[in-house]
Amino acid sequence: MTDKKNGTGRTEIRLTGVGGQGVILAGAVLGRAAVIYDGLNAILNKEYGADIRGGDVSTDLILSGEKIVYPSVLSPDVIVTLAQSAFKNNKKWLRDESRLVYDTGLVRFEKEELPKGCTALGAPFTALADGAFHRTDVANMIFLGFFTAAIRLISTEAVQKALADLLPPQSGETSGPDVNFQAFELGLKEGEAFSRA
């Protein structure tokens, strides 16, 4: 399902945010889905800032239908940014063919800041989580659903199975049944509009 047009099928993804937003977990879910359930090769690299919460965090994920020879991201095809500081620190990687996925409620930029051919798409992941579930810690699950539907690199079924592996369903008075999966489904609906565009 990788989509890069360079003949190798290699797609480079950089997920960025701040500590506490679930960026590392999102990368782990996508990597597991790609390898175990979609049969792709993948490499995941994580980088943490000095602060556990609130510091810069990034996860680089490389996907390929072939053997991955070089294990580092050189020129991301997709950059995800879930915080303003993450956008500021990573916009230098954007290029004409890039796709930028961002939290529209937390990240602001002028159109002129993006390369001419760069595609930007997003939704207010954190606000949606707060509005639908009265908690913001599932914003990364909404992002995962959005990313899956809009970017279409990894199948929905694979991501759902990886989520079930890594995040057993939650229940209880404050979270409701299967809140992570409900948030993922909400994100899928948000992303479907972009997948049809």
Domains of the chain: 11-195 (3.40.920.10)
* Bridge partners (DSSP) listed for residue 56: 18
Q: Which residues contact 61 (CB under 8 A, 6 or more apart)?
A: 12, 13, 14, 15, 27, 30, 31, 34, 42, 43, 44
pLDDT of residue 195: 72
pLDDT confidence bin for 140, thresholds 50/70/90: very high
Q: Which residues contact 178 (CB under 8 A, 6 or more apart)?
A: 169, 170, 171
Q: What are the pLDDT digits (tens) for 78-97?
A: 999 999 999 999 999 999 99
Phi, psi (rounded to 5 degrees) for 53: -110, 130
User: Worst-scoring range by mean pLDDT, 5-9, 92-96, 113-117, 131-135?
Assistant: 5-9
* Amino acid making up residue 83: A
Does the global pTM surpass 0.85?
A: yes
Longest Cα–Cα distance of the chain, Å, equals 50
Strand 99-103 with 119-123, pairing? parallel
Phi, psi (rounded to 5 degrees) for 85: -65, -35
